[in-house]
Each structure stands twice: as C-alpha cells, then as structure tokens.
Homo-oligomer: A and B are copies of this chain.
Amino acid sequence: MFLHRKELFRSVSVGTPDPQFGQFLLEQFGGATGELTAALQYWVQSFHVEDAGIRDMLQDIAVEEFNHLEMVGKLIAQHTSTLDQTGVYEAPLFKMKGIGPHFIDSCGSAWTAAYINEGGNVVRDLRANIAAEAGARQTYEALIKRTEDAGTREALVHLLTREITHANMFMKALNAMGKLDDPFFGNIEPDDTVAITFNLSQGEDVRGPWNSGELKYVAEPGPQGEFPPAPINPDDEKGKVKGEKKVAA
C-alpha cells in the first residue's frame, strides 16, 4: 500500500528558473534513464522475486525512486514557473504542452515501458538494475554540467549520489548470491564453447583479460567447419567453468 505526504522526501529549491534547462530535466522524469523507469522496474520485479530480503530491498529502493521522481518533477515545475515571461522560441515544448513535468523525454518522446528490463530471474533483475543506475547516474552528470544554478546542482548531486548508493546495494545483494563476478546463473548447462572468444572484427586487435587467460582466442574465425567442433580447452570444461555453473542461482 502506498501512502503520500505532501512534503518532498528532500526539498528542492531552484534559484533562477530556466525553462530550457527544465526541458533537459525531462530526461530524468519521462526519459529512458529517468526515475520513472527505475521506480517501475524495481517495483514490478518485487512481484515475482521470491527471496524476502531482495524483495524488501527492491521495494525500499523503488519507493525512494518514486520520491526522486517527485523531486525531479518539482524541479521542472520550478524551472517552468516563469514561462509566460519567456520568449516564444525558448521553451516551445512547455508552451505547447503546458508548464510542469510531463512523461516525455527532453526530445518530446513519450515514456515507454520498453525501457524496462526485468523478468523471470532475480540475477537478471539485479544486473538490469545495476545497469539502470549507471544510466541514471550518467544523465545526472550530464545535467549537472549544464547548469550553474546552485539549488538545482545541489538537488541533482543528491540524486546522482543516491543512484550510486542503490548501485552499491544491488551489487552487495548480487555478491551475497555469488553472482557479482560469476557470469553463470539459471539451470541450463552451457555447451563446450563457453570459454572461446572470437576475433570477428579484425584490425587494431587488442588482447586483454576478456580474451586471454582461461578464455581461448580464435584469431581467424570462419563459418561452419572452422568453428571449433569440440571442447577446445578440456581442462576448463571439466573443471572450474562448468563445475561452478551448476551451483548457479
């Protein structure tokens, strides 16, 4: 059950309203990386996640994201409060659609649930959430760099901070399952190609931890027959890689 208090979770105070900046802020209200995406993604996950602790965490963070959505909305409302004094072409989006926030991004595209990533498995969900937090943090950084207004910056730095906190929480939860640094989860056994990497884009090739060590590197991959036909690294398959996956979440 949701309850609401009219005071904000944390108050926001814009110094100099700037409707154009208000339009940029829409990115975090009705945009792909915004608070609505986060709030709805974590909350809808809580319906199918079975672990009570993870479910509680998802709901705690989802509700905080609703509170952030409200804060962003209030920032937009303050930035567009002086719209009538603004020149015609400075913030046409708000002049056409009205002041205050709308569920569109800074380009005017309607929010869509296609932004949400969730379903079927808690490991998948938590990885999706770490990604969502990273996207949100990135957009807050972009916004912070484009405003000089102290009140706006303080609010945005706080919101950016909380995305880091949430990422931290999701990482700790994943880590508690042993899935932060283990690519395996679910209960389907991978086949023999799990430790192969292919140099499919040739030129300026670089080797790094992602295509060396236990990971075999195929420098000249080709179709069909050239594909490694059998376990190419028997030790890996019998040992660590395959074994670990059996205890996947």
Contacts and interface: CB of A to CB of B under 8 A. Distances in A.
A130 B88 CA distance: 29
24 contacts: A1-B67, A3-B63, A4-B59, A4-B200, A6-B202, A9-B223, A10-B224, A23-B92, A32-B114, A48-B100, A56-B206, A63-B200, A64-B198, A93-B107, A98-B142, A111-B112, A114-B114, A114-B115, A161-B194, A164-B183, A164-B190, A164-B245, A165-B215, A173-B209
Given A164-B183, A164-B190, A3 B6 contact: no
Interface in A114-144: 114-121, 123-124, 127-128, 130-135, 137-144
A89 B91 CA distance: 12
Interface string A14-41: 0000001001100100101000100010
A97 to B, nearest CB: 5
Interface of A: 1-11, 20, 23-24, 27, 30, 32, 36, 40, 44, 47-48, 52-53, 55-57, 59-60, 62-64, 66-67, 70, 73-74, 76-77, 88-89, 92-93, 95-121, 123-124, 127-128, 130-135, 137-146, 154, 157-158, 160-162, 164-165, 167-173, 175-176, 180-181, 183-191, 193-211, 215, 221-224, 227, 245
